[in-house]
Amino acid sequence: MLEPEELVELHRRAPRLADLVRQGSRRSDCRRVRARILLLLLERRAPRGRRLRRPWYVPGAVARVGAEGLRRIWPDPHGPPTLRSMRSHLKALSDLGAILCSPGDWLPVTRDPLHPERRPRYPDTIHVIDRNSWAVWWARFRRYSPEVYRRARYSPDRWRQTFGADWAAGAVRQALAPLRGILERRRAPVPGGAWSATDIIRLVREPPESALGALAARGVRFGIQAGARFLLEPWRLAGALALAALATLRQSPPEDLGAWVATVGARASRYDLAGAIRAAGCVNPLNQE
Phi, psi (5° rounding) for residue 84?
-60, -45
The total number of structural domains in the chain stands at: 2
Last residue of a domain, one of 64, 80, 101: 101
Residue 128 lies in a domain: no
Residues 186 and 283 in one domain: yes
SS (H, E, C) 251-283: CCCCCEHHHHHHHHHHHCCHHHHHHHHHHHHCC
Phi, psi (5° rounding) for residue 99?
-135, 165
Residues 95 and 186 in one domain: no
Residues 189 and 280 in one domain: yes
Give the contacts of 232 (CB within 8 A, at least 6 positions apart): 133, 134, 136, 137, 171, 172, 175
Residue-wise pLDDT for 38-87, tens only, equals: 999 999 999 876 788 888 898 889 999 999 999 999 988 788 999 999 99
Strand partners, 61: 127
Per-residue pLDDT, averaged over 125-143, amounts to 81
Residue 75 lies in a domain: yes
Residue 92 lies in a domain: yes
Domain that holds residue 218: 182-287
Give the other-Cβ count within 10 Å of 222's Cβ.
23
Q: How many CA atoms lie within 13 A of 168 on its CB side?
A: 21
Largest CA distance in the chain: 75
pLDDT higher for 163 or 15?
15
Residue 18: helix, strand or coil by DSSP? helix
At 11 the pLDDT is 93
Whole-model pTM above 0.75?
no
Residue 130 lies in a domain: no
pLDDT higher for 79 or 143?
79
Last residue of a domain, one of 73, 101, 129: 101
User: What's CA 9's distance to the chain center, in Å?
Assistant: 23
What is the pLDDT of the chain when averaged over all its residues? 82
Residue 122 lies in a domain: no
Percent of the chain with pLDDT over 90: 32
Residue 16 lies in a domain: yes
Which strand ranges, in their side-by-side order, compose the sheet holding 99-102? 61-62, 125-128, 99-102
Strand partners, 191: 256
What is the rounded CA–CA span in Å between residue 255 and residue 49? 37
What is the rounded CA–CA span in Å between residue 227 and residue 204? 15
Last residue of a domain, one of 56, 79, 101: 101
Do residues 169 and 237 touch, judged by C-beta distance below 8 A? Answer: no
Counted residue by residue, the chain has a size of 289
Per-residue pLDDT, averaged over 242-257, amounts to 85
**pLDDT above 70 (res 173):** no
pLDDT higher for 256 or 31?
31
